């Protein structure tokens, strides 16, 4: 079942990371969105947020990024901001390469 969001809600994206290396590491975690079916052409990946996590060797940590649903608005065909109901993919990972991203979905609802 998809999480349903209205324009007043937000989605909290969390991902666990483990430093398997022998040295201190700093990883950047990016969160992207993709509107699956929109009334106007949308980017394949749109940056919604990012955070950095510093981990000692063997340490595991959780990266958290909060994305307000209002941020998922876009300019409609008449160039007015639109919060369009439908399915939006939330993608998280170390770079803007879809093959390297974890994917979840949310359902935007009017209201």
Range of the domain at 81: 3-108
Determine the pLDDT at residue 3: 80
Structural domain total, the chain: 1
Q: Is the pLDDT of residue 2 over 90?
A: no
Residue that is written with structure tokens 């994305």 in the block: 67
Determine the pLDDT at residue 111: 72
- Distance CA(104)–CA(9), nearest Å, equals 17
CATH of the domain at 82: 2.60.40.10
Summarised one tens digit per residue, pLDDT across range 25-74 is: 999 999 999 999 999 999 999 999 999 999 999 999 999 999 999 999 99
Q: What is the mean pLDDT of residues 22-26?
A: 96
State the pairing for strand pair 86-93/102-108.
antiparallel
- pTM: predicted TM-score of the whole model, two decimal places: 0.92
């Amino acid at each position: 079942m998809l999480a349903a969001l209205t324009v007043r809600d937000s989605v909290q994206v969390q991902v666990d990371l483990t430093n398997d290396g022998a040295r201190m590491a700093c990883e950047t975690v990016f969160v992207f969105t993709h509107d699956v079916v929109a009334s106007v052409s949308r980017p394949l990946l749109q940056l919604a947020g990012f955070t950095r996590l510093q981990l000692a060797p063997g340490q595991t940590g959780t990266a958290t990024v909060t994305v307000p649903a209002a941020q998922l608005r876009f300019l409609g065909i008449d160039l007015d901001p639109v919060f369009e109901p439908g399915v939006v993919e939330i993608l998280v990972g170390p770079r803007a390469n879809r093959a390297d991203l974890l994917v979840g979905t949310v359902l935007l609802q009017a209201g």
